[in-house]
Amino acid sequence: MSRYRMSDGTIVDTDNASKEFCEDTAWDGRNMISCVTGSQWAHQTLYRSRKGRYYVEHTSQWEGTRPSAEWVSNEEALRWLLVNNYDKTIPEELRPLLEDVTE
C-alpha cells in the first residue's frame, strides 16, 4: 500500500485502485530494463483509481529517492499501456483512443 497526495490535493491509495498495470521489462544481456523508463533502476506502475482516473506511480531503486505519483490523461495511459505490451488487454474506455495515439 502506498498513499500519495496528487497535484490537485486528492489522496490516492494504491490499495484502493480498481486496476493495476505493472511495467514490462526486457533483458539487455545483463539486466532487466523497464520498457517505459529505459532504466534498470527507475520503474513505473499505472493504476486506474476507483473513480476511473489514471495515475502513474514512479519508484526507484536509487538510494534517497522518494516514490511519487501523478495523474495522467486517458491518452497518456493508453500510450503507457501500449509501450508496456498491454495491446491485447486495453480497457474498454481507452479503446476509442487507439486511432489517435497509434500510427
- Quote the mean pLDDT of the chain: 96
Higher pLDDT, 103 or 58: 58
What is the average pLDDT across 1-27? Answer: 96
Residue 43 has pLDDT above 90, yes or no: yes
The contacts found for 12-15 with CB under 8 angstroms, 24 or more apart, are 12/47, 12/49, 12/55, 12/69, 14/45, 14/47, 14/57
Check residue 1 and give its pLDDT: 80
Total-model pTM: 0.94
